[in-house]
């Protein structure tokens, strides 16, 4: 039986994720806005099996069949299915969702919908939430109560030993050009024809590592297991062993649900900066947006600031009033550069449901207020209509000079392109 070849553009991903992982990965996207297109484009370039797309329920959004037929040309081997006839959340959960390995919710602010889909996914599928509110963006990842991350390399790795010394309780190894990631508690198996048979079969945990001379020389300390006879570590012919083998044990991760994680989040702080709001404050602001939307079915504007602050659960003393105003003035649209960045990020996180590489744990928040115009935004007609909460026509709200000079270098595992 002939097998479908992965397109040439995905050869790099295929070398890091085996072809069966990619070719069997089916992903459901439920959402709206430019991020849907960005995620779809990235997944097509990566080379997954199929992509299902569901527009927001009970909205005026209609699927653009012609546009999806056009984007399909990026990878004809990947099937795009439009589930535009889904009428209820129940239908989405019971009929559509079981067909997919992971669900991506994008720019959906209805908390009840997020919680219900997330709970449905925790039993059999992964769940990723992404949202771009103007100059702000966030991602939430939930791969369930038990997710196993395995060694991404298909074969065990061996490394030459330059020197080996031992004490009754430890073994110290010095090696050169160790091109892999070592952490304490990972396992090493010593190898060498001059070692006794029982030593070759044993594994030892790494207890300490030191990188010297810009990582060119690596010293690793192994702990002698208590049940091991120390005399066994004497090489049979008086020489040190020739190499060692790195054995990576699978890591078991536990993810919290969206509902519990909103109030007690695990936050990644990679995008924090000296002139930016902390990730914790950004999380509380997003939480307030969700609460406000739950009450009013729309995004808050600057004129809603008193009501919005009643939804804010964080410490008001750490959040100046002008920062709140600035936040509310800059969440009314979808900002293409951030949508593009987060589209690549969400697509790459989705690949990690296969158990290869470490997923995000669990929230990531981002802001880029340097792009905001310095003019008075109160006079601008707000773009907060319920039917169009993620308008992309944002140029009149932004500083063209800053946009012209804005540069991002986005380095991310398995990213099919640089932004």
pLDDT at residue 200, as a whole number: 60
Contact 376, 96 (CB under 8 A): no
Packing angle of the helix pair 34-46, 336-351 (nearest 10 deg): 40
Assign 111 a pLDDT band (cuts: 50, 70, 90).
Answer: very high
Contact 121, 100 (CB under 8 A): no
- The C-alpha atoms of residue 293 and residue 334 are separated, in whole angstroms, by 17
193-216: average pLDDT:
63
Indicate whether 247 pLDDT > 80: no
Indicate whether 392 pLDDT > 70: no
Task: List the domains of the chain with CATH numbers.
Answer: 8-148+255-405 (3.40.50.720), 157-249 (2.40.30)
Residues near 117 by beta carbon (within 8 Å), at least 6 away in sequence: 30, 89, 92, 93, 97, 103, 105, 127
pLDDT per residue as tens digits for the range 251-268: 889 999 999 999 999 998
Which among 137, 62, 128 is positioned nearest to 335, based on CA atoms? Answer: 137
pLDDT at residue 230, as a whole number: 46
How many Cβ atoms from other residues are within 10 Å of residue 21's Cβ? 18
Q: Which residue has the higher pLDDT, 215 or 19?
A: 19
pLDDT per residue as tens digits for the range 47-77: 888 999 998 876 555 556 667 778 888 888 8
Indicate whether 114 pLDDT > 90: yes
Q: What is the dihedral of CA 414, 107, 129, 181, to 10 degrees?
A: 30
What percent of the chain shows pLDDT beyond 70? 65
Contact 36, 3 (CB under 8 A): no
pTM recorded for the entire structure:
0.75
Indicate whether 231 pLDDT > 80: no
- The C-alpha atoms of residue 168 and residue 14 are separated, in whole angstroms, by 45
Instruction: Note the Cα 49 to chain centre separation in Å.
Output: 20
8-27: average pLDDT:
64
Packing angle of the helix pair 279-296, 111-121 (nearest 10 deg): 110
Backbone angles phi, psi at 347, to 5 degrees: -65, -40
What is the DSSP track for 345-406?
A: HHHHHHHGGGSBSPPP-SEEEEE-GGGB-SS-GGGSPP---TT-TTB---GGGB-HHHHHH-
> For 5, left (φ over 0), alpha (ψ -120 to 50), or beta?
beta
- The C-alpha atoms of residue 317 and residue 314 are separated, in whole angstroms, by 9
Assign 84 a pLDDT band (cuts: 50, 70, 90).
Answer: confident
pLDDT at residue 419, as a whole number: 26
pLDDT per residue as tens digits for the range 269-320: 766 666 778 888 899 999 999 999 999 989 998 889 999 999 988 777 778 7
Indicate whether 116 pLDDT > 90: yes
Which among 378, 303, 414, 338 is positioned nearest to 13, based on CA atoms? Answer: 414
Q: Which residue has the higher pLDDT, 338 or 386?
A: 338
192-221: average pLDDT:
65
- The C-alpha atoms of residue 200 and residue 236 are separated, in whole angstroms, by 12
How many Cβ atoms from other residues are within 10 Å of residue 316's Cβ? 12
Mean pLDDT, the chain, whole residue set = 75
pLDDT per residue as tens digits for the range 328-351: 988 887 888 888 889 999 999 999
pLDDT at residue 397, as a whole number: 46
Indicate whether 389 pLDDT > 50: no
Residues near 19 by beta carbon (within 8 Å), at least 6 away in sequence: 6
pLDDT at residue 99, as a whole number: 93
Indicate whether 372 pLDDT > 70: no
124-149: average pLDDT:
92
The most confident of the ranges 83-87, 161-165, 255-259, 385-389 is 255-259
Indicate whether 387 pLDDT > 60: no
How many Cβ atoms from other residues are within 10 Å of residue 76's Cβ? 9
Instruction: Note the Cα 331 to chain centre separation in Å.
Output: 22
pLDDT at residue 322, as a whole number: 83
- The C-alpha atoms of residue 250 and residue 325 are separated, in whole angstroms, by 46
- The C-alpha atoms of residue 316 and residue 285 are separated, in whole angstroms, by 11
Q: Which residue has the higher pLDDT, 272 or 235?
A: 272
Indicate whether 198 pLDDT > 70: no
- The C-alpha atoms of residue 268 and residue 360 are separated, in whole angstroms, by 8
DSSP 124: T
pLDDT per residue as tens digits for the range 4-15: 444 444 455 555
pLDDT at residue 19, as a whole number: 60
Contact 100, 27 (CB under 8 A): yes
- The C-alpha atoms of residue 61 and residue 108 are separated, in whole angstroms, by 13
Whole-angstrom CA distances from 305 to 190, 218, 283, 312, 330 are 64, 56, 17, 10, 13
Q: Which residue has the higher pLDDT, 178 or 390?
A: 178
pLDDT at residue 319, as a whole number: 81
- The C-alpha atoms of residue 91 and residue 83 are separated, in whole angstroms, by 11
154-173: average pLDDT:
72
Classify strands 217-223 and 203-212 as parallel, antiparallel or unpaired: antiparallel
């Amino acid at each position: 039986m002939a097998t479908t070849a992965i397109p040439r553009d995905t050869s790099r991903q295929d070398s890091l994720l085996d072809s069966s992982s990619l070719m069997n990965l089916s992903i459901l996207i439920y959402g709206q806005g430019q991020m849907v297109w960005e995620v779809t484009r990235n997944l097509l370039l990566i080379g997954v099996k199929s992509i299902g797309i569901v527009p927001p329920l009970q909205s005026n959004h209609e699927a653009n069949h012609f546009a999806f037929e056009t984007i399909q040309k990026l990878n004809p081997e990947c099937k795009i299915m439009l589930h535009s006839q889904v009428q209820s959340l129940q239908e989405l959960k019971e009929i559509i969702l079981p067909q997919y390995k992971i669900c991506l919710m994008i720019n959906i602010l209805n908390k009840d919908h997020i919680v219900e889909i997330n709970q449905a996914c925790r039993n059999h599928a992964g769940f990723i939430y992404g949202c771009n509110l103007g100059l702000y963006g966030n991602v939430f990842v939930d791969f369930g109560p038990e997710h196993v991350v395995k060694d991404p390399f298909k074969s065990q790795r061996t490394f030459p030993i330059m020197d080996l010394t031992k004490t009754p309780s430890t073994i110290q190894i010095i090696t050169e050009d160790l091109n892999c990631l070592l952490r304490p508690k990972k396992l090493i198996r010593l190898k060498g024809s001059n070692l006794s048979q029982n030593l070759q079969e044993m594994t030892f945990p790494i207890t300490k590592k030191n990188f010297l001379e810009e990582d060119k020389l690596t010293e690793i300390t192994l702990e002698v297991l208590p049940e091991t006879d120390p005399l066994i570590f004497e090489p049979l012919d008086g020489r040190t062993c020739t190499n060692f083998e790195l054995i990576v044990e699978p890591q078991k991760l536990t993810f919290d649900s969206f509902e519990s994680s909103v109030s007690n989040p695990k936050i990644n702080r990679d995008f924090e900066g000296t002139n930016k709001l902390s990730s914790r404050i950004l999380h509380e602001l997003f939480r307030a947006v969700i609460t406000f939307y739950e009450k009013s079915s729309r995004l808050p504007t600057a004129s809603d600031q008193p009501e919005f602050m009643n939804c804010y659960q964080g410490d008001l003393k750490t959040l100046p009033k002008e920062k709140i105003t600035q936040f509310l003035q800059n969440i009314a649209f979808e900002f293409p550069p951030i949508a593009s960045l987060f589209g690549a990020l969400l697509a790459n996180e989705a690949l990690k449901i296969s158990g290869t590489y470490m997923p995000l744990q669990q929230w990531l928040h981002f802001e880029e207020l340097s792009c905001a115009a310095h003019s008075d935004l109160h006079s601008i007609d707000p773009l907060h209509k319920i039917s169009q909460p993620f308008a992309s026509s944002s140029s009149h709200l932004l500083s063209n000079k800053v946009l012209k000079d804005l540069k991002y270098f986005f380095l991310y595992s398995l990213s099919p392109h640089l932004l």
